Amino acid sequence: MHRPVNNNGFTLLEILLVVAAIGILAGIVILAINPGRQLAAARNAQRQVDVNTILNAIYQFSLDHNGRIPETINTFSANDTCLDAANSENPFPYSICVTSNGCSGINMDDLITNSKYLVGIPRDPSGYTPSNGDENQSGYFVIKQSTGRVSVCAPLAENDQEISVSR
């Protein structure tokens, strides 16, 4: 007696074709989502929040001190921007330090004393350490223009975005 052949399984070729199709579709989805760009956008959003927070703290300080801003903020040219100062030949006089310990930039202890204006100086989300190796630098910069206007910026912004706020 002859028994019929049972062909209920998949062939190796069929399985390989399905795996290849899933791989191609996954690759297309990953390229469409572009995780590197999405992560950079998230870091830029954090930078925008941080520069606004710092500038708001400076202005809260000035309201409490009859319009005087912290004396450690250095004056830069009236026509240049905070980003110009950050990219200048010597940017450290305009760089905000996280703490006053060994600070080679701007000491903002007036803002963080007793957590009145800020709990702490935020750090750039990229983990910034400048070329001089000073790990006390926040990655954010602040200037006072000769016109009295104060600007805070994040020169490490990604995706060709410029992040700077002024008042």
pLDDT band at 30 (very low <50, low <70, confident <90, very high): confident
In three-state secondary structure terms, 99 is coil
Say what percent of the chain tops pLDDT 90.
57
Output the average pLDDT for the chain: 89
DSSP letter string over 21-90?
A: HHHHHHHHHHHHH-HHHHHHHHHHHHHHHHHHHHHHHHHHHHHHTTTPPPTTSPEE-SSS-HHHHHTSS-
- Residue-wise pLDDT for 117-130, tens only, equals 999 999 999 877 76
pLDDT of 56: 96
Which range is most confident: 53-57, 69-73, 93-97, 109-113?
A: 53-57
Q: What does the pLDDT average to over 12-41?
A: 90
In three-state secondary structure terms, 143 is strand
- Residue-wise pLDDT for 51-62, tens only, equals 999 999 999 999
In three-state secondary structure terms, 127 is coil
Amino acid at 81: T
In three-state secondary structure terms, 146 is coil
- Residue-wise pLDDT for 98-109, tens only, equals 988 877 789 999
pLDDT of 33: 81
149 — phi, psi (to 5°)?
-75, 140
Which residues, in sequence order, are CB contacts of 93 under 8 Å at separation 6+? 74, 105, 106
State pTM to two decimals. Answer: 0.80
- Residue-wise pLDDT for 76-91, tens only, equals 876 788 999 988 888 8
- Whole-angstrom distance, CA of residue 121 vs CA of residue 124: 10
- Whole-angstrom distance, CA of residue 100 vs CA of residue 27: 48
